[in-house]
Amino acid sequence: MSVLWTSADIAAAIGGVASAPFTATGVTFDSREVGPGDLFIALPGEATDGHRFLPQAFTQGAAGAIVSQPVEHPHVLVADTTAALDALARASRARTAAKIIGVTGSVGKTGTKEALFAALDRGARGAAHRSVKSYNNHTGVPLSLSRMPAETRFGVFEMGMNHAGELSALTQLVRPHVAIVTTIAPAHTAFFRDEAAIADAKGEIFQGLEPGGVAIVPYDSPHRDRLVAAAAPHAARTVTFGLDKGADVRAIESMRLASGATFVTAVVGERELSFTISQPGQHWVSNSLAVLAAVDAVGGDLAAAGLALAELGGLAGRGARFAMPLGDGDALVIDESYNANPSSMRATLAVLGAERATRKIVVLGEMRELGERSDGYHAALLEPILAAGVEAGILVGEAMAPLANVLEGKGDFVHVADAAAARASLLKLLAPGDAVLIKGSNGVGLSAIVADLRSRIPETLRGGTL
């Protein structure tokens, strides 16, 4: 692997003192992720301190560390390792000539980020970089920036928030040339008075735009004008995407294929492009339009982007699929276990509804951080559940009680306390020919159910996602 940072570069970037020369090929602050050649940043935490894991990090092959107290191994000493992470991120951003894209939104930001990375990488192999997993907060964003090679041509960074002011700080680190808001929907409503306030917080992403930057906003959103106004002081140009004929980048035709994929014909400015989206669901049509708008804004290859959308695989916790053998057949498992809010619940229930299955089942975990409107949001899932033709399901967590009440007598639904109880119920319920959607807020822990189902697939049949 090529050198990402030298000890001298690190020391200069963060104002530290290097104990010895070393070179790093990667960066992490999670000791469990340390591999040979990595720079380990010992961050303080609420429950523990990264300095405790320095021996483990070096045993696993760390090349050096950023620390606030001297150690025997190669290191760069600073007063504050959290500030050092931010400083390293700023240095990484300053040294690159890459076109940088920032992505936020209430729903779809991780999927859009991954699709955008795939689209840019398809047209410039090995020259694109993105934040991995959902590293989108005050530590994840600077970590993702610090991992970006200097020679990168395109950088894609996801930015999240659950309070006003958070995106303003993150976007000043990323300094995007293009900033995308995927959609505005009820999420973290415990911390916002209404959706307009959520739109204002998401609109903070435009504050970090570089001169000449482009803002990309959803045309079909009721908050479109609010987002356009938020972008106006910072963007040289605003591009809209959506299904309405008024959008700058719009779908003029979309058709679901037998495979579950969607064939789309879209207009991008004055050009027309036809492509296939491998991921099912109308929400992915919207995501793909945001991707095309961004690829066009940074001068990427639109044809390559179309090919990448056709090749895109499902993301773990965000739409990955696999067949689990059962008896003389199998059951389709749709893994949406990473997160949930009212909008994403509706979108993925619609995807389940379009599946061909003997029976449609859901394992739905409670949606968290919805505040005083939580009961109403949960009860309102009745309509999309019935519309999807769901016959049975397991509702997980205390906040699911309102939905359990309105579903009484409308199918084989049970309400359980936690993921462990849900797993036991699901194993009794599943039968060949079923399609099961597993979705809930990450803290509910439904990913453990997915992992258990995967573990039941014979080794010889494990081949990734559908």
Q: How confident is the model at residue 28 (pLDDT cuts 50, 70, 90)?
A: very high
Sign of CA dihedral 201, 85, 56, 47: negative
How many domains does the chain contain in total? 3
pLDDT over 60 at 412, yes or no? yes
Look at residue 400 in the predicted model and tell me its pLDDT: 97
Which residues are 128's β-sheet partners?
A: 154
SS3 292: helix
Residue 348 lies in a domain: yes
Same structural domain, 133 and 276 = yes
Residues whose CB falls within 8 Å of the CB of residue 272, separated by 6 or more in sequence, listed in order = 252, 265, 266
DSSP state for residue 110 in the 8-state scheme: H
Mean pLDDT, residues 416-425: 97
- The Cα 394–Cα 400 span in angstroms is 10
The per-residue pLDDT for 45 is 83
Residue 142's pLDDT is 97
Q: Which two tokens stand for residue 253?
A: 């035709």
Residues 288, 115 contacting (CB under 8 angstroms): yes
pLDDT band at 190 (very low <50, low <70, confident <90, very high): low
**Model confidence pTM above 0.75:** yes
Q: Identify whether 89 is part of a domain.
A: no
The single-letter DSSP state of residue 49 is B
Range of the domain at 78: 5-82
| Phi then psi dihedrals of residue 326, to 5 deg | -145, 115
* pLDDT higher than threshold 80 for residue 18: yes
Averaged pLDDT of the chain? 94
Calpha distance 344→111 (Å, rounded): 12
Could you read off the pLDDT of 381-399 as tens digits, one per residue?
Answer: 999 999 999 999 999 999 9
Same domain? 69 vs 138: no
Amino acid at 388: A
Q: In whole angstroms, how far apart are CA 415 and each of 247, 334, 404, 405, 407?
A: 43, 20, 6, 9, 10
Burial (CB < 10 A; 0-12, 13-18, 19+), residue 453, is buried
pLDDT for the residue 83? 97
- Is residue 237's pLDDT more than 60? yes
113 lies in the same domain as 233: yes
Do 212 and 113 reside in the same domain of the chain? Answer: yes
**For the chain, how many helices (H) and strands (E)?**
16, 22
Same-domain check for residues 22 and 153: no
Q: Distance (Å, rounded) from C-alpha 86 to C-alpha 324? A: 44
| CA distances from residue 318 to 7, 177, 439 in whole angstroms, order as listed | 38, 27, 9
- Taking the C-alpha atoms of residue 402 and residue 378, their distance in angstroms, rounded to an integer, is 6
DSSP, collapsed to helix, strand or coil, labels residue 111 as helix
Least confident stretch, 126-130, 180-184, 314-318, 431-435: 314-318
What DSSP string runs through 67-107? ESS--SSSEEE-S-HHHHHHHHHHHHHHH---EEEEEE-SS
pLDDT at 374: 95
CA dist., res. 341 & res. 250, Å (int) = 25
Last residue of a domain, one of 311, 340, 364: 311
Q: Is residue 347 part of a domain?
A: yes
448-462 per-position pLDDT tens digit: 999 999 999 887 665
What DSSP state is assigned to residue 232?
Answer: T
Distance CA 23, CA 235 (A): 38
pLDDT score for 135: 85
Average pLDDT over residues 331-349: 93
Q: Which helix (H) or strand (E) covers residue 114, if one does?
A: helix 109-123
Could you tell me if 397 and 440 lie in one domain? yes
> For a pLDDT cut of 90, what percent of the chain falls above it?
85
Calculate what percentage of the chain has a pLDDT beyond 70: 97
pLDDT at residue 220, rounded to an integer: 94
| Residue 88 within any structural domain of the chain | no
Identify the domain boundary among 311, 331, 355. Answer: 311
For residues 61 and 38, give the distance between their C-alpha atoms in angstroms, rounded to a whole number: 7
For position 47, what pLDDT does the model report? 80
Greatest mean pLDDT among 46-50, 130-134, 339-343, 443-447: 443-447
CA distances in angstroms from 383 to 305, 376, 378, 401, 406, listed in the order given: 35, 12, 11, 16, 10
Is 466 a domain residue?
no
- What gap in Å lies between CA 93 and CA 96, rounded to an integer? 6
pLDDT at 263: 96
73 token code pair: 């191994």
Asked if residue 266 and residue 203 are part of one domain, the reply reads yes
User: Domain for residue 90, yes or no?
Assistant: no
Domain termination residue (choose one: 311, 337, 371): 311
**Predicted pLDDT at 462:** 58
Decide if 442 contacts 338 (C-beta within 8 A).
Answer: yes
How high is the pLDDT of residue 463?
55
pLDDT at 225 over 80: yes
> Cα–Cα distance between 187 and 302 in angstroms, integer?
32
> Which CATH number belongs to the domain containing residue 453 in this structure?
3.90.190.20
Task: Compute the distance between CA of residue 427 and CA of residue 404 in angstroms, rounded to an integer.
Answer: 20
- Listed in order, strand segments (DSSP E) in 170-306 are 178-181, 214-218, 237-242, 249-256, 262-268, 271-277
pLDDT digits (tens, 9 = 90+) for 243-300: 999 999 999 999 989 888 899 999 998 899 999 999 888 889 999 999 999 999 999 9
Pair 214, 148 in one domain: yes
Same domain membership, residue 109 and residue 76: no
The answer to whether residue 290 is domain-embedded is: yes
Give the mean pLDDT of 23-34: 96
The predicted structure's pLDDT at residue 176: 98
Could you tell me the two tokens for 162? 């659950």
pLDDT value of position 318: 85
> CB burial class (10 A; 0-12, 13-18, 19+) of residue 269?
exposed
Report for 45-49, 174-178, 181-185: range of highest mean pLDDT: 174-178
- What the block records as the tokens of 237 is 């140009």
> Are 431 and 306 members of one domain?
no
Question: What's the average model confidence in pLDDT over 370-390?
Answer: 95
Q: 293 and 351 share a domain? A: no
Q: What's the CATH code of the domain at 157?
A: 3.40.1190.10
Place of tokens 């258990």: 452
Task: Calculate the dihedral angle through the C-alpha atoms of 423, 429, 432, 436, rounding to the nearest 10 degrees.
Answer: -60
